[in-house]
Structure 1
């Protein structure tokens, strides 16, 4: 089995102070894809090159304390690719691809942090540009290899994916254009929402993010923003999923899927 976890850290130093390394040592994933590491190379040196025996690989944002993604893995990748060819968004540290190629399979594990549009119209427009630029990249990737893209997509796809869907229909993260992009990703681009494949009907148990405002966590007023998006051959190998909520390392919960393959 290949155990793959995804988590938005909201800062690697913050998550470390809340016990993320001890949890990784206990759960022993093969890979964990992280978003919003919010650090630079000097912050990693001497402290975060490894976590619980997993080797870290990073794509940092140019802006300090902002964005950034990582993949920690127990397996040596054959290639590490930072960015997907976007001048605008590669500077924000939003995409990291680790390739594990063998004679039997070409496989990529991707950590991706989609922009949020909640800061205002200028960031919502940036989010749409990101989606438009990511589309052809995913098409080309799918034509050449299997992959699982893990990450904070910052979109709740359907009404069952957030608590207050009626009140959020005009808010970033649940806008019709964003949801239509997700639908097209599944219905036309052929990727699979692995969690929904395994759990098609869950609602309250599916949330992976809760606002820090009010009592969203206490009342479970959440959103499902964190995904495993896989090509069909890999999605067919998904066996079980877990959203871990017993501890809180950030405002997101880690989502883990176990796949019936090995490296």
Structure 2
């Protein structure tokens, strides 16, 4: 089984039509699309994949709010986290896949960004707290795969000191210490310096992550 996360950038209808040409040719079984929005572009993607027979999970987005869509070639049922998250709920979407090894939970999360304003900083902090509680409340024996997050690991290179708050680093470490999830990329590439987004060539960030339960971490897998 393979999965990919793609930031679609709250697409216009014209951009979404071009994105669909690329996404429809992907070989992955599950597409986790982040930065979706209640606009014609995101709705077009949801309707096009649904019409083609994919299982589409696209939570209701409040006007102007960003979120997540999950598109699966495999049959799925809603993960309980979606109904449990009670603050900016469109920022996370979850499905349960019926695999040969039993149920697999897949959760996509698009953590709110923040800037220098107190309001956006508090908004991000509040969402992280509510998401962590929802993750705890829906914990089960089924293995879980979570991405893409929009946070950095504490030992990130370059350090980007002062740009991120303790609550953000605590959220990253809490996924392992509180929820038992491993950073799969870091587990497989312990010394690698890799970035998923860059403001310029010499200023990169590994914002995007795949965290998995121990059974996923210890099974044959790849992460890039």
What TM-score, normalized to structure 2?
0.84
For 2:78 and 2:171, locate their aligned partners in 1 and report how far apart those are by CA, in whole Å: 29
For 2:4 and 2:44, locate their aligned partners in 1 and report how far apart those are by CA, in whole Å: 24
CA deviations 1:130-162 (Å, max 9, x no partner) are: 1212223222333342211122x22111333x4
For 1:189 and 1:145, locate their aligned partners in 2 and report how far apart those are by CA, in whole Å: 13
* Contact 2:91/2:109 (<8 A) preserved: yes
For 2:86 and 2:136, locate their aligned partners in 1 and report how far apart those are by CA, in whole Å: 19
Number of corresponding residues: 221
SS in 2 for 1:49: helix
1:227 to 205, 209, 224: 209
For 2:19 and 2:42, locate their aligned partners in 1 and report how far apart those are by CA, in whole Å: 15
RMSD, matched Cα: 2.7
SS in 1 for 2:140: helix
What TM-score, normalized to structure 1?
0.73
For 2:179 and 2:46, locate their aligned partners in 1 and report how far apart those are by CA, in whole Å: 36
- Structure 2: segments with no counterpart, 5+ residues: none
Q: CA deviation at 1:75?
A: 0.8
Asked if residue 133 in structure 1 is aligned to residue 123 in structure 2, the reply is no
Distance 1:12 1:57, change over 3 A: farther
Q: CA deviation at 1:80?
A: 5.6
Q: CA deviation at 1:12?
A: 3.4
| Greater relative CO, 1 or 2 (CA 8 Å, sep 6+) | 1
What aligned pairs does 1:1-263 form with structure 2 within 5 A after superposition?
2-13=1-12, 16=16, 19-40=18-39, 48-51=46-49, 54-64=54-64, 66-79=65-78, 83-90=82-89, 93-101=90-98, 104-118=101-115, 120-151=117-148, 153-160=149-156, 162-163=157-158, 165=159, 168-171=160-163, 174-203=164-193, 206-211=194-199, 216=200, 219-242=201-224
For 2:216 and 2:6, locate their aligned partners in 1 and report how far apart those are by CA, in whole Å: 20
Q: CA deviation at 1:25?
A: 3.9
SS in 2 for 1:12: coil
CA deviations 1:184-225 (Å, max 9, x no partner) are: 22134211111111111111xx211223xxxx1xx2421111
SS in 2 for 1:69: strand
SS in 2 for 1:189: coil
